Structures are given as C-alpha cells and as structure tokens.
Amino acid sequence: MTLLAPTGAGQPPPAPPAARSGRRRLLPYLLLLPGAAWLLVFFAVPLLQLAAVSLYDPGGSLSTGYAMTWAFGNYPDVVQAYGPQLLRSFGFAGLALVLALLLGYPLAYAIAQKAGRWKNLLLVCVVAPMFTSFLVRTLAWKTILSDNGALVGLLRDVHLLAPDGRLLATPFAVVLGLTYNFLPFLVLPLYASLERLDPRLLEAASDLYASGVQAFRRVTLPLSMPGLIAGTLLFFIPASGDYINAELLGTPNEYMVGNVIDSAFLVRLDYPQGAALSFLLMAAILAVVLGYLRTTGTEEVL
C-alpha cells in the first residue's frame, strides 16, 4: 500500500504574523536603500568635500597644496568681489522666467485643452529641441542673433533696431537664450496640471456669469498651481547657475556667477574661491525657493 504524504510536507512552516509584519515594515526602507546610497555617494559626499574646500587657505595652490585653515573669510571676500555677477544671475533668471511664463502658460493651456488629436505632436515639438546638445542649441541662437543674420537685418529694415544696433552680445541675447533652453522644463509640468482640468468647471463658471478673466483667476490658475510651482522651480534653479548662455551669447559684461565659478575651477585654479561661490549660489537659490514657496503658501512642496 502506498502512503501519501500530507499536503505541505517538507515545506517550512509559515512565518508567524509578527515576523511577516516586521518584513512589511522594512520593505519600504529596503526599496529606498539604492536611491539613498546613490545620493550619499554622488551628492552628500561631494557636497561635504566642496564645503571643506571652501574653507581652505586662499593663499595655497595646486603646486604647493592647500591647508585647512577654516578660512570663513573666503565667503565675504567672494561676495565683495563677485556680488554683481551673483545679482546678475538672479536678475537674468528672473527676467527669463517672466518671459517663459508669458510664452509657456498659453502654450501649455492650448496643448492641454485645445489641441485635440494634435496634442501628442505638439508635445513632441516642445521636447524635440532637447534631443540635441544644450551647447548646439545655444550656438544656433548665436547664429540667429548674429549681426549679419536675417533677424537683425529684418529688424533694421523695419526700423526696430538702429542701423548699428545688435542683438548678440547683449543682456537681451542672454535672457532669450535662457528662456529658450529651459522653456520645456516649465511647459511640461504646466501641461500635466492643465491636462487634468475638467472643462465642466469652466462651463460652470460661465453659467455663474464669470468673465473669462474671472474664470481664469478663480478656476484655471488655482487648479494649475502645482504644475506652475514645479515648472517655475525647474526653470529658475538651473537658469540661475547657467554659464553657457552668458559665455556664448554675451560678453564679460553679461557674465553670471556660473561663469566666475567655471573660471575659478578651470582657469585660475582657485579652488577655495570657486567652492565658496558655489556654496553661496546654492544658499541663495535655496533662500529664494523657500521665500517663493512661503509666499505662495506651498511650503509642503518640499
């Protein structure tokens, strides 16, 4: 006679409920572990090293070495020396952000609510410039704005530009380059918010005798605020630290703090000064972002 083994024979007994509950509590932390390790190795450790470099003796050099003298005076020194470039960075980024909002908000709204079957094609057109190098796109604008280009010639012909006027190597060119290069970072989050907007809400506002401006102010703008906040931050933060547009489309009179940092690390090899400027830029951007979030009442975004 063949004896059949009972069901489950040879298998380990099930874990007690307490052990299963403990594993479930640990699972989210285990999933976060790879990302946390990545941030620790490639962000936190370099950031601490940069903080240490910013406090090195400014009298050192690569050939003689740098001594850790806790030279906190590096910070007021770089502010005194490069304060205009720091202010110019935020001024250019702010002007570019205003111009991007004037262009990007109507574009995002049109794609989200009015494009119909052309929606996907228009989204591809928004992100298509990002398929090419940032440097190539900026060089293209250098050609477009050149003194012998068709655009400058047209503006001179219609007397919108003086016969000896120019667009290249001006603050206008730098702001235009920043607007163009970072515009998709503003449009895409705005599109994501506006695409979820229920048209029936606008119809209800119209039924309640709201004008177009009132409907936008009371319905569309509040509902698109998450995308607007995310888009402005994604635009403003990299634009403040950019140096390519000022390098290629401007002159030393238009240089931003990113150009000074680039020169300190790669040309003058003044590492303490470059590190101190980098930290000041990060701190200034963080202060602007926190002030912006507090003003809009969205501190929980962080």
String of DSSP letters for 87-151: HHHHHHHHHHHHHHHHHHHHHHHIIIII-GGGHHHHHHHHHGGGGS-HHHHHHHHHHHTSTTSHH
Question: Tell me, what DSSP letter sits at residue 65?
Answer: B
CA distance linking residue 66 with residue 56, whole number of Å: 6
CA distance linking residue 217 with residue 208, whole number of Å: 14
SS3 category, 196: coil
As given in the structure block, the two tokens for residue 131 are 């398929």
CA distance linking residue 260 with residue 267, whole number of Å: 10
Q: At what angle do helices 225-241 and 74-109 cross, to 10 degrees?
A: 140
Helix (H) or strand (E) holding 57: none
- The pLDDT score that the predictor gives to residue 1 is 47
Q: How far is CA 271 from the centre of its chain?
A: 25
CA distance linking residue 163 with residue 78, whole number of Å: 40
Where do runs of H (alpha helix) occur along 167-270?
Answer: 171-195, 199-207, 212-215, 221-223, 225-241, 244-249, 257-266
- The pLDDT score that the predictor gives to residue 187 is 95
As given in the structure block, the two tokens for residue 3 are 């004896």
Averaged pLDDT in 10-residue chunks for the chain of 302 residues? 52 60 77 90 91 90 86 92 93 96 94 89 91 92 91 90 89 95 95 88 82 86 91 94 93 93 92 93 90 74 45
- The pLDDT score that the predictor gives to residue 301 is 45
- The pLDDT score that the predictor gives to residue 302 is 45
Phi, psi torsion values for 61, nearest 5 degrees? -155, 170
CA distance linking residue 112 with residue 191, whole number of Å: 6
Helix/strand/coil (H, E, C) string of 31-100?
HHHHHHHHHHHHHHHHHHHHHHHCCECCCCECCCECCECCCCCHHHHHHHHHHHHHHHHHHHHHHHHHHH
Distance linking the first and last C-alpha atoms of the chain: 71
